[in-house]
Amino acid sequence: MGEKLLYKPGGGGDFNIWMGFPGNHSFALSSPGYLWLCKMIDEMDGVNLERFCTDRQPKNAPNLVGFSFTFDNDFLTIFEMLQKNKLALKADERATLVFAGGPVVTTNPMPYVDFFDFFIIGDGEDVIEKIVEICRQGVNDKENTLKTLSELEGVFVPKYPKPVKKLTSRLEHCVYTPILSDEAFFANTFIVELSRGCANRCAFCIASYINLPLRCAPFDELMKTVEFGLKHTDKIALLGAQVSAHPRFMDILRYIDKRGAKMSISSLRVDAIEPEVVQILARAGQKSVTLAIEAGTDRLRKRINKNLTDEQILQAVQICRDNGLSGIKFYAMLGLPGETQEDIEGFLTLAKKMRNVSFGFSTFVPKPHTPFQSCNRAEVKELEDKINYLKKEFHKLGIKTSFSSPKWDYWQSVLSRGDSDLGEFLVEVYKNGGKLGAFNAAAKKYNIGSPNLTDNLPWDFIQMPPGKEFLKSEFKRLLQEAD
Ligand code: SF4
């Protein structure tokens, strides 16, 4: 069916905006946040929007270019997309304004200040129309446009630095995928956002910490939105870091269940697993579930504020099995602050009590704006030893595992806590192909490594709740409580 737009574009004009997604068309079409901003722009009169990604090029010369920036490594794809479309990488070598928004730059835009003229810090839907309007008024006057943009709340213009307050949308209207397509990664699926953020505040988690407070879409709006989606498809996906925190979560599930739609949920907390939830999801076509347990023992889980016990995990697995969800995958991290061999053994102790499950591991990457923001990262070698040990032991148990690469995770940690001096390094990495070897060679050339963090952090100018003093006291509390 190609693409089906669920909205009416505004009258075309001659102000051309490209909205870039650093991935392929299929993933772009399953990204509600990106598509929602595209819809808001496309609905404006006098604007001509083109979506572009790695396998889809725009046609009309742009007046404004925006990028979604979700993963630290996205800079490589963004550079490639800029070059492919004959736009200089560096902001001061371009006439066209280029901006970025998304979790990476909301958390810490500093490594990327050479490349973008401005950044949206936080929820873009509250400011995108104003941005477009200012850029349209100021076409051909880059300097004044940037000055005006720098006065907007939630917009960071590196040329005019100032403290920036993160934008926090009230989520009074539902955000959903406003385009349906059989080419989408989740084909013809109407994805609707139930809630934004998570109140649990696990100490490593930016999904929680950069999205406080937790907001839930109003129930009536949600139901109207689901009905709207069901006019166009029978597949509904519910999105949110903690969907079960919605005060009407069960009512929402029951409603969609009654409508006979296929339904899936992005992730569920272990303590939200109840027989009725599982039965509804199984009936609605969901085959498997990923349970994020993060650490191997109750002690370490408490230390990271996950507060989940082995007993709760085993009970959740039983409920899933008894009620029709057979595929269970655990997600956890290695190298969390305070991890000991006992915590590594804890994974195996848990695994021995279960059958037909799999484990996916990544390694801990300290992120800005979390209580762990100033923590050191374990050495690559130490993490590789832990991985090899777990691979061997899980193999003996006949349990499938997958592991992220500690070397790549290391670079992620360098980027996510980096400062403005990373610019030339990033260009060098990109020019040399963006593989691990390119990172290592560029690091030698520019003397880049783990950041030496002082009390003044590069991202301190971004103001968001709960604030730096709280993060420090929360870190102390977690250390004391768990020991
Ligand atoms: S429960 Fe999940 S989403 Fe919520 S803070 Fe913890 S890790 Fe993040």
45-100 tens-digit pLDDT: 999 999 999 999 999 999 999 999 999 999 999 999 999 999 999 999 999 999 99
pLDDT exceeds 90 at position 266: no
Atom of ligand 1 nearest to the CA of 201: 5
Averaged pLDDT, 140-160 = 96
**Fold of the CATH domain 3-165:** Rossmann fold (3.40.50)
Averaged pLDDT, 355-381 = 96
CA dist 357 and 249 (Å) reads 27
| CA 366 to ligand 1 center in whole angstroms | 15
Work out the pLDDT band at 1, boundaries 50, 70, 90: low
188: left (phi over 0), alpha (psi -120 to 50) or beta: left
Domain locations along the chain: 3-165, 189-417+453-482
Q: How far is CA 322 from CA 49, 250, 314, 325, 461, in A?
A: 49, 19, 12, 8, 50
* Residues 343/300, Cβ–Cβ less than 8 Å: yes
pLDDT exceeds 90 at position 454: no
Q: Is 440 exposed, middle or buried (0-12, 13-18, 19+ CB in 10 A)?
A: middle
| CA 73 to ligand 1 center in whole angstroms | 22
Work out the pLDDT band at 482, boundaries 50, 70, 90: low
CA dist 337 and 14 (Å) reads 53
DSSP state of 26: H
| Span 4-50, pLDDT tens digits | 999 999 988 889 999 999 999 999 999 999 999 999 999 999 999 99
| CA 192 to ligand 1 center in whole angstroms | 19
Averaged pLDDT, 267-290 = 92
CA dist 452 and 418 (Å) reads 10
| Tokens matching residue 193 | 């956002």
CA dist 182 and 359 (Å) reads 30
Q: How far is CA 357 from CA 74, 298, 329, 396, 398, in A?
A: 31, 20, 6, 14, 10
CA dist 256 and 51 (Å) reads 31
Q: How far is CA 331 from CA 186, 289, 357, 400, in A?
A: 21, 10, 11, 12
Half-sphere exposure of 390 (CA within 13 A, CB side): 30
pTM: 0.96
The per-residue DSSP string of 220-279 comes to HHHHHHHHHHHTT-SEEEEE-TTGGGSTTHHHHHHHHHHTT-EEEES---GGG--HHHHH
| Tokens matching residue 329 | 């995958």
| CA 381 to ligand 1 center in whole angstroms | 28
- CATH for 189-417+453-482, options being 3.40.50.620, 1.10.10.10, 3.20.20.70, 3.40.50.10700: 3.20.20.70
Work out the pLDDT band at 483, boundaries 50, 70, 90: low
CA dist 158 and 112 (Å) reads 10
| CA 360 to ligand 1 center in whole angstroms | 16
Q: What average pLDDT does the structure give for the chain? A: 96
Q: Whose CA is nearest to atom 1 of ligand 1?
A: 200
Per-residue pLDDT at 320: 94
| CA 208 to ligand 1 center in whole angstroms | 6
| Tokens matching residue 283 | 């009936």
In 3D space, the residue among 98, 163, 168, 64 whose CA is nearest the CA of residue 126 turns out to be: 168
Q: Whose CA is nearest to atom 3 of ligand 1?
A: 241
Q: Whose CA is nearest to atom 2 of ligand 1?
A: 241
| CA 299 to ligand 1 center in whole angstroms | 17
Ligand 1 pocket test target in 107, 195, 202 with most atoms within 8 Å of CB: 202
| Tokens matching residue 403 | 């592991």
Q: Whose CA is nearest to atom 6 of ligand 1?
A: 202
Q: Is there a shared CATH topology between the 3-165 domain and the 189-417+453-482 domain? A: no
In 3D space, the residue among 387, 390, 442 whose CA is nearest the CA of residue 411 turns out to be: 442
CA dist 193 and 279 (Å) reads 22
| Tokens matching residue 173 | 């209207």
Atom of ligand 1 nearest to the CA of 305: 6
In 3D space, the residue among 27, 31, 19 whose CA is nearest the CA of residue 193 turns out to be: 31
Ligand 1 pocket test target in 196, 204, 205, 362 with most atoms within 8 Å of CB: 205
Atom of ligand 1 nearest to the CA of 198: 4
Per-residue pLDDT at 287: 86
| CA 205 to ligand 1 center in whole angstroms | 6
CA dist 68 and 104 (Å) reads 9
Residues with CB under 6 A from ligand 1: 198, 200-202, 205, 207-208, 241-242, 269, 292
Ligand 1 pocket test target in 196, 200, 210 with most atoms within 8 Å of CB: 200
Ligand 1 pocket test target in 196, 204, 208 with most atoms within 8 Å of CB: 208
* Residues 446/428, Cβ–Cβ less than 8 Å: yes
Per-residue pLDDT at 355: 83
Ligand 1 pocket test target in 243, 265, 306 with most atoms within 8 Å of CB: 306
| CA 384 to ligand 1 center in whole angstroms | 25
What is the b/e burial string over 442-473, where b = at least 16 CB atoms within 10 angstroms of the residue's CB? bbeebebeebebeeebbbeebebeeeeeebee
| CA 199 to ligand 1 center in whole angstroms | 8
CA dist 421 and 426 (Å) reads 10
| CA 431 to ligand 1 center in whole angstroms | 36
User: How many Cβ atoms are within 10 Å of 202's Cβ, its own excluded?
Assistant: 21
| Span 229-265, pLDDT tens digits | 999 999 999 999 989 999 999 999 999 999 999 999 9
Atom of ligand 1 nearest to the CA of 209: 5
Q: Which residues pair with 193 in a beta bridge?
A: 239
Atom of ligand 1 nearest to the CA of 208: 5
| CA 274 to ligand 1 center in whole angstroms | 18
Work out the pLDDT band at 326, boundaries 50, 70, 90: confident
DSSP state of 414: H
Instruction: Report angle CA 448, 65, 415 to the nearest 5 degrees.
Output: 15
